[in-house]
Structure 1
Amino acid sequence: MPTSSVAASGARYVGLVGAALLAVAGHLGGALPDAPLGVTPTSIWRAPGGPATLTCWLVGTVLLVGAWWSLRDGAPSTRWAYVTAGLWALPLLVTPPMGSRDVYSYACQGWTYAHGVDPYSVGVAGAGCPWLDTVAPIWRDTPAPYGPVFVLLAALAVGLGGGLTGTIVALRVIAVAGLLLAALCLPGLARAAGVPTRRAVWLALAGPLIGVHLVAGAHNDAVMLGLLLCGLLVAIRRPGWPAALLLAGALLGLAVTVKATAVVVVPFAVLAGVRHPYTVRALVRDGGWLAGGLVGAVLVTSVLSGLGFGWVGGLTHSGDSEQWTSPPTAVGFVVDYAGALVGRDPQAVPVLRAVALLLLAGLLVVLWWRSWRTLRRLNDTPVANGGRAQVAPVRFEVERPRVVVRGAALALVATVVLSPVFHPWYATWPLALLALTAVQTRWFTVPTALAAFLALPDGTNLARFTKAPGALAMTALLLTVLVLALRRART
């Protein structure tokens, strides 16, 4: 057996052992319904079974991260990557929720809607959810921040599951369905973007955050990613086809009405749907079809659900949690610490968050404009005979998906970095698209690997207990990156 095959086989089973240890940690001390809330790492260690829980979690995470990292340049084959990612997910399919308690919020929001109460007007506490004690206190009085499609899916899970356990199982099935849809779309997107499918599938599906947070944690990000990748694939495969663009827009609209983050990808999907040649007229024509599908999906789901657009207002509560893992929040903390030293209370966190959102808006425009200009330049590249004509269609069709997917990936990176709050599973948003376009992988696989260590099995976020040192470290990292970027720009 070749050495590479031996190494890959070793990585497969090391990761499987890691996933099994994480499942054991979930059974011993995961985010169980009756688990105590507001605990600290020290209290977890002192609890019965605490040392075993934390040991299994730490060793399992190290093994899973190490196995994924060792094959970051690509698994032996696409089929091998699928099989291995599936093997690693199996133990986490049958463990209690891990990494956060958000799935209980989903269950209560679904219960609220199923019992005729608007989840966008009251929190789950005001609605009288019978499972209120399982929800993290910070989210009990907060209206749902998710779109009507996910509220409908959560209500469906409540109807199918009956009790709390059945509802959690149904929500996990929905999350896995989203991952399966993403897995179905990855090969087509990878071929279109010109990257090896074995690498794209491995990076996007076998990562340490996928099993813990999207499978065991049943986060709705899995559904959003599945719909988003499917919409992008349809737009790339059938540019200029009105029916296909309507479908692509509808899929992206459904993604937005699961989680609003998907909206930053829509402008790049419009570029994907434009038929060659790239002109303003073609952009308006083809982009109009896609936009029509998106608006139609949003309107239909908002109206038929009876919820209207109350979900837009719920988005303002997503930043209620303050953690140093969000760069603008970390810088705000440091400014507040500096102010305290001189007897001031600058309250810089809200200001820095607002500035970061303005910067994000501007950066998204710049990224879209650069992608548009790149496609226009390709469109107008002189041909061999010296005349100014359209680039050869074959070459253009190779470059177009790569430009579009790269722009969408960077838009999601900017969204994660500049958002007012960051949770480990947020890293899965750009990961799926970076796996399809990035040449160098270390700059995004390292942060992804580190994010896997931020949450304990019961949902305790370690960022809560490292506020000051974490904020200082994040600010120092940002300054270092800024200095290096300026030096690179000069040279």
Structure 2
Amino acid sequence: MSGEPGGERDDETRPARVDTLIPPRASRSFAAAVTFGRRVVGLDVAPDHTVSDALHANEPEAGGLDAKENAQLRRVRLLGATGSVMMAIGALGLGAQPTLQNPTYGKAIIGLPARVHSSGLAVTMLGTVVVMLAWLLLGRFALGLRSSQGRRLTRSQLDRTLLLWIIPLSVAPPMFSQDVYSYLAQGEIAARGLDPYDVGPVQGLGQDHVLTRSVPNIWQNTPAPYGPLSLWFGKGIAALTGENMLAGVLLHRVLALIGVACVVWALPRLAQRCRVSPVAALWLGAANPLVIFHLVSGVHNEAMMIGLMLVGLELCLAAVSRTGPLRGPTLALFLTGATLLALSAMVKIPSMLALAFVWMALSRRWGGKWRGITASALLLGAVTATVTLAICVGSGLGFGWVGTLGTANAVRSWMSLPTLLGVITGFGGVLLGLGDHTTALLSITRPIAAAAATLLVVRLLIATWSGRLHPVGALGLAFGAVVLLFPVVQPWYLLWGIVPLAAWANRPLFRVPATVASAVVSVLLMPSGSEITPFVLIYAATITILTCLLMILATRKSLPWRLDESGAAAEAAGPFASTKDRPESTGRPDAAAQRPETGSNRSAHLVTDSTATSGFGATEARTTNDLESIEASATTGFGAADPSAASGFRSTDPSATTGFGSPDAGAATALAATESTATDAEPAVPATRSTARGE
């Protein structure tokens, strides 16, 4: 009997089945919630999800310019150089001059722009617009829009043009920002043995110190918001120059030029890795007026951050793309790249994102399963921790930078979407008589934006791990999301996303908005980095507009202001010179999408075929039990073992222009398989490879 000890029936002592404890309707709701969550983070992606196809296509090789186009190119180069010289002359009076130790003060010739304020501002603004227009004209030769054959200028022609435009601004006073004087003050604080993460220029140097006087008022009592490597550079410069502001500014500009040189070195190599024209990538990424105006002329430490990040990214991807075990010279190459990425993060912390995408790339090389993910995380974590500890201890600055990362949030930037939304809503409340609740609204909009940015970054990391997106493209998209949703956005922050995306995203969907944004934002800030009297500003803007219109009218036949019929056809064709160069699309639906979601096939969307078109060489990753041993015949998920496929931009065979790699089904579905809780037997379903369409 059931009431007697030991007399219970077996079915009463056996644990109840889960499906009897959860009502069928609740079970279906739970399964739907799990499916929705997987779709949100990007583990299950619909087969028609084609972000990669919308932004990237393999660009064919193009020939050089003809005689007429070379003549026009020389005029465009001269036009940009003229604008750069005008900016340099105007900077003598209208640049971000120091309050004290102004080298142009009282000088008869070089001090003239400061004495004719309105005319000097007009010359400077005109030079800014001329450089921007010359850059747009240069883009027609860099993108192959001047002819139906897609002819482009050569790499050497672009390098000479960029160098010619940069030289005048390299020796001119800073423009568009006074941040370099904050660098000098913070470096002097560190050189005196004080903690720049604890005291601002006023507390560390005094209100009347020569360096403090040139720091903008908003930052005079603010601790340094930069990484320890940036301040270590400033500390060394302060030890060399002391209170000599001219020498200090020049040395900081040397660091900025080194960063730009790193961008020029790494960007075309990354573009070739993604099968994108190196010249087009350099035009949009390195010759961008935001780079010339804000990294070179404005002397921002973003130059060093982006430069180190791109070089480190290229070295890491070069190591990951090699066949064979990751040891010896290959391991040394990877560790060098990872070290540079960690150093970049010690300049400004946002570049830590690059390490995350290298992590996904390395884990994919090691099979993409939990073991590979964990091992690659440990390796990169060890490198990052070692570099961080060495910089923090070696510089003597410690870890105070962690507590000052949110210092810049005090600024309400109109370019930040969450900040703009909060400010506009708060202003609306004032108009309605509800009071000013802007601060409270910002405390709501900014965390929501941060959560959205985090979700987008997670999706992009998973897309990189699964092979749907190239690490370079995914990194650029992640930076784009972070910048758009960042609480504070400065004009030069746009380069965080534009520069890496220039090496991968070559469709008009990206290039057109990026070009427009770069052109418009580059001419918005005033040369002095501060406010200008409205009357003077209107006068200078009117002179600039009228002069530019007259210039365009006078040069309408000698400069390519308008596209001819062949150029218009080339522009409509996008990055392809002809239809035979377009990557083929199978057009067939994903077979896995037509089957019910089961424990054995629910992550079939993550399996990609070797005909993917996200910009990598074809691969077939065959992992072994030993992470350090990968068969020589297997590729690494980045470049093909065949030299013709690994050459990147040189290959135009559609069969060679494949995706991030053809991952093994087990590797691509590792994360999905760990979450499967199906207990009932299911009929075996043959594995199906789908055409990877992109995240």
Same fold by TM-score, threshold 0.5 exceeded?
yes
Q: Is the 8 A contact 1:326 1:422 kept in 2?
A: yes
Q: Please list the CA deviations of residues 287-316 of structure 1 after superposition, one character each: whole Å capped at 9, or x if unmatched.
A: 432232122111111122222211011111
Correspondence for 1:411: 478
Of the candidates 447, 456, 461, which is equivalent to residue 526 of structure 2? 456
Deviation at 1:47, TM superposition (A): 7.8
How far apart in 1 are the matches of 2:267 and 2:351?
Answer: 17
Deviation at 1:461, TM superposition (A): 6.1
How far apart in 2 are the matches of 1:271 and 1:79?
Answer: 35
How far apart in 1 are the matches of 2:444 and 2:306?
Answer: 31
How far apart in 2 are the matches of 1:6 and 1:117?
Answer: 57
Correspondence for 1:392: none
Is 2:399 the partner of 1:309?
A: yes
The 5-angstrom pairing of residues 112-261 of structure 1 reads: 112-128=189-205, 130=209, 131-162=211-242, 163-239=244-320, 240=326, 241-261=330-350
How far apart in 2 are the matches of 1:24 and 1:282?
Answer: 56
Q: Please list the CA deviations of residues 178-234 of structure 1 after superposition, one character each: whole Å capped at 9, or x if unmatched.
A: 111222212221111111111111222211112221112211000001110011011
Of the candidates 167, 170, 174, which is equivalent to residue 97 of structure 1? 174
Correspondence for 2:136: 69
Correspondence for 2:494: 427
* Unpaired stretches in structure 2, ≥5 consecutive residues: 1-65, 101-112, 143-151, 321-325, 538-695
Correspondence for 1:108: 185
Of the candidates 260, 264, 273, which is equivalent to residue 353 of structure 2? 264
How far apart in 1 are the matches of 2:393 and 2:88?
Answer: 41
How far apart in 1 are the matches of 2:68 and 2:114?
Answer: 44
RMSD: 2.3
**For structure 1, which segment, 114-123 or 211-220, has the greater mean C-alpha deviation from structure 2 after superposition?**
211-220
Distance 1:319 1:461, change over 3 A: farther
How far apart in 2 are the matches of 1:244 and 1:309?
Answer: 28
Of the candidates 440, 444, 447, which is equivalent to residue 354 of structure 1? 447
* Unpaired stretches in structure 1, ≥5 consecutive residues: 36-45, 376-401, 467-491
Give the partner amino acid of 1:15. G
Correspondence for 1:58: 125
Deviation at 1:328, TM superposition (A): 1.2
Correspondence for 1:40: none
Correspondence for 2:72: 7
Correspondence for 1:446: 516
The 5-angstrom pairing of residues 374-385 of structure 1 reads: 374-375=467-468
Q: Is the 8 A contact 2:392 2:399 kept in 1?
A: yes
- Please state whether the residue corresponding to 2:347 is helix, strand or coil: coil
How far apart in 1 are the matches of 2:412 and 2:368?
Answer: 43
- In our comparison, the structure showing a higher alpha carbon Rg is 2
How far apart in 2 are the matches of 1:8 and 1:459?
Answer: 32
Give the partner amino acid of 1:426. Y
Distance 1:288 1:3, change over 3 A: farther
Is 2:95 the partner of 1:30?
A: yes
Give the partner amino acid of 1:284. T
Q: Please list the CA deviations of residues 258-285 of structure 1 after superposition, one character each: whole Å capped at 9, or x if unmatched.
A: 0111112221122333426443333332
Is 2:459 the partner of 1:333?
A: no
Distance 1:346 1:72, change over 3 A: same
Q: Give the share of equivalent positions with the same residue, in percent.
A: 33
Larger RCO, structures 1/2 (Cα 8 Å, 6+ apart): 2
Deviation at 1:105, TM superposition (A): 0.0
- Please state whether the residue corresponding to 2:236 is helix, strand or coil: helix
Matched residue count: 430
Correspondence for 1:319: 409
